[in-house]
Amino acid sequence: MTSEEIRALTQQYIMPTYGRFPVVIDRGEGARLYTPEGREYVDFTSGIGVNDLGYGYQPWIDAISAQAKKLGHISNLFYTEPSAKLAEILCKRSGMSDVFFANGGGEANEGLIKLARKYSFDRYGKGRATIISLKNSFHGRTITTLKATGQEVFHNYFFPFTEGFRYADANDMDSLNAVAGEDVCAVLVELVQGEGGVLPLDREYVHALSALCAARDWLLLVDEVQTGVGRTGTLFAFQQYGVTPDALTFAKGIAGGLPMSGILANEKCRDVLGPGMHATTFGANPVSAAAALVVQDTLNDEFLAEVVKKGAYLRESIEALGLPCFGATRGLGLMIGIAVNDGYSNKEIANRLIDNGLLVLTAGAGMRLLPPLVITKEEMDKGLAIMKRTLV
Ligand SMILES: *Cc1c(COP(=O)(O)O)cnc(C)c1O
């Protein structure tokens, strides 16, 4: 089919929930993508932080193919090897005790919220179910995770929302203390707010927050759906903040492009969710788990050190271009935000870059770059050249 035909069918038959760019993607190689007509794009998006191994990564293809031949799905009423191995690796590398596998970020956060409320119910009984989240956060699109999201624009149309959330300003312990109370059971944060604009939390704030949570037996919940799986240069972002969450969620990059997510919980939360308490039909899918094992195999210390270097190279190079529309860059590893100067629109900049062959994302009022973690120097330079040519 041609790009034109694919766009027409999509517009007729798929619900119009996405403001799509007018580009049809057919295939990819490394960090480059191609339309059905063969036009090339350099990818600084990875889906949205999903395709950490890029496109056409041979070990990933081989593992998926082999697992699909053996067993594509079986219910969680039975045991399978890929999910068992993956669980062990994730627990050992994160220092957590056990894992629950789900399919998407919002769904994992739903489970995380259930875990926090059940933990508190077991210890303290009813009336201690409130979760504090941060303003400008993003936690998902379900009725509950919309409410957990600390942005008023998400609290529309779908009433009634789940009760039991209050919001504090990021990096402000006074704001947090102002909404604290006897009814609180947990605090939920992204260590780098992704959708909100690539805004890293301050180290001192995260340490103060962690100490307060420990003192009041509030669970420290970290949403690593976007920051996790090597994106920031460590397997999880909490590992470079020097704090230990009670539970965290991961999703986007975990299986390199197949749907998978999960919750990792520490010893304190072990066995809070018992048989019949939580479940999902597709969770721990063996093909997704086999793909995730390749991701874990690839993301060794040497690879993660490269992610840090590539992130620094991209940020320095972008700032060195001195483009009139861009201010400073921020972020961690290959999760990069760029401030957009007054008088310029991030949406318009994204459209122009995409027109010229470079896929980028926006977040908040700025730009957001989430390139495949395997991106090469040549591919980064190609993307930078498009930026320069388009935006001088
Ligand atoms: C993307 C994202 C989600 C939602 O994940 P879905 O897979 O779209 O449900 C939740 N939290 C954060 C931090 C995210 O970046």
**pLDDT tens across the length of the chain (392 residues):** 999 999 999 999 999 999 999 999 999 999 999 999 999 999 999 999 999 999 999 999 999 999 999 999 999 999 999 999 999 999 999 999 999 999 999 999 999 999 999 999 999 999 999 999 999 999 999 999 999 999 999 999 999 999 999 999 999 999 999 999 999 999 999 999 999 999 999 999 999 999 999 999 999 999 999 999 999 999 999 999 999 999 999 999 999 999 999 999 999 999 899 999 999 999 999 999 999 999 999 999 999 999 999 999 999 999 999 999 999 999 999 999 999 999 999 999 999 999 999 999 999 999 999 999 999 999 999 999 999 999 99
Angle between helices 81-94 and 286-298 (to 10 degrees): 40
Check residue 239 and give its pLDDT: 98
Q: Which atom of ligand 1 is nearest to the CA of 109?
A: 10
Taking each continuous run of H as one helix and of E as one strand, the counts in the chain are 13, 17
Check residue 369 and give its pLDDT: 98
Check residue 213 and give its pLDDT: 98
Facing residues of 17 across strands?
none
Check residue 187 and give its pLDDT: 98
CA 312 to chain centre: 20
Residue 14 is given by DSSP the state S
Q: Regarding the domain delimited by 59-298, which CATH topology (the fold level of the hierarchy) does it fall under?
A: Aspartate Aminotransferase; domain 2 (3.40.640)
55 contacts 29 by C-beta, under 8 angstroms: yes
Check residue 2 and give its pLDDT: 98
Check residue 106 and give its pLDDT: 98
- C-alpha dist (Å) from residue 195 to 31, 140, 157: 22, 10, 20
Check residue 101 and give its pLDDT: 98
Write the DSSP assignment of 175-214 as a string of letters.
HHHHH--TTEEEEEE-SEETTTTSEEPPHHHHHHHHHHHH
CA 316 to chain centre: 24
Classify domain 3-52+300-391 at the CATH superfamily level. Answer: Aspartate Aminotransferase, domain 1 (3.90.1150.10)
* Start-end of H helices in the chain: 3-13, 46-49, 58-70, 81-94, 105-124, 143-148, 173-179, 203-216, 238-241, 286-298, 301-321, 346-355, 377-391
Distance from residue 149's CA to the centre of ligand 1 (Å) = 11
Check residue 107 and give its pLDDT: 98
Residue 272 makes CB contacts below 8 A (sequence gap 6+) with: 115, 118, 119, 122, 265
Distance from residue 138's CA to the centre of ligand 1 (Å) = 7
For a pocket test of ligand 1, which of 252, 263, 332, 368 has the largest count of ligand atoms closer than 8 A to its C-beta? 252
* Tally of CB atoms within 10 A around 122: 10
149 contacts 137 by C-beta, under 8 angstroms: yes
Give me the residue spans of the domains in the chain: 3-52+300-391, 59-298
Check residue 87 and give its pLDDT: 98
The identity of residue 303, as a single letter, is: F
User: And the tokens for 209?
Assistant: 């927050």
110 touches ligand 1 (CB under 6 Å): no
Residue 249 makes CB contacts below 8 A (sequence gap 6+) with: 105, 108, 109, 111, 112, 221, 222, 223, 224, 225, 228, 261, 262, 263, 264
User: And the tokens for 237?
Assistant: 């972002």
User: And the tokens for 232?
Assistant: 């920031």
261 contacts 225 by C-beta, under 8 angstroms: yes
225 touches ligand 1 (CB under 6 Å): yes
Check residue 335 and give its pLDDT: 98
180 contacts 131 by C-beta, under 8 angstroms: no
Q: Which atom of ligand 1 is nearest to the CA of 249?
A: 11
Query: Burial letters for 339-355: b for 16+ Cβ neighbours within 10 Å, e otherwise?
Result: bbeeeeebeebbebbbe
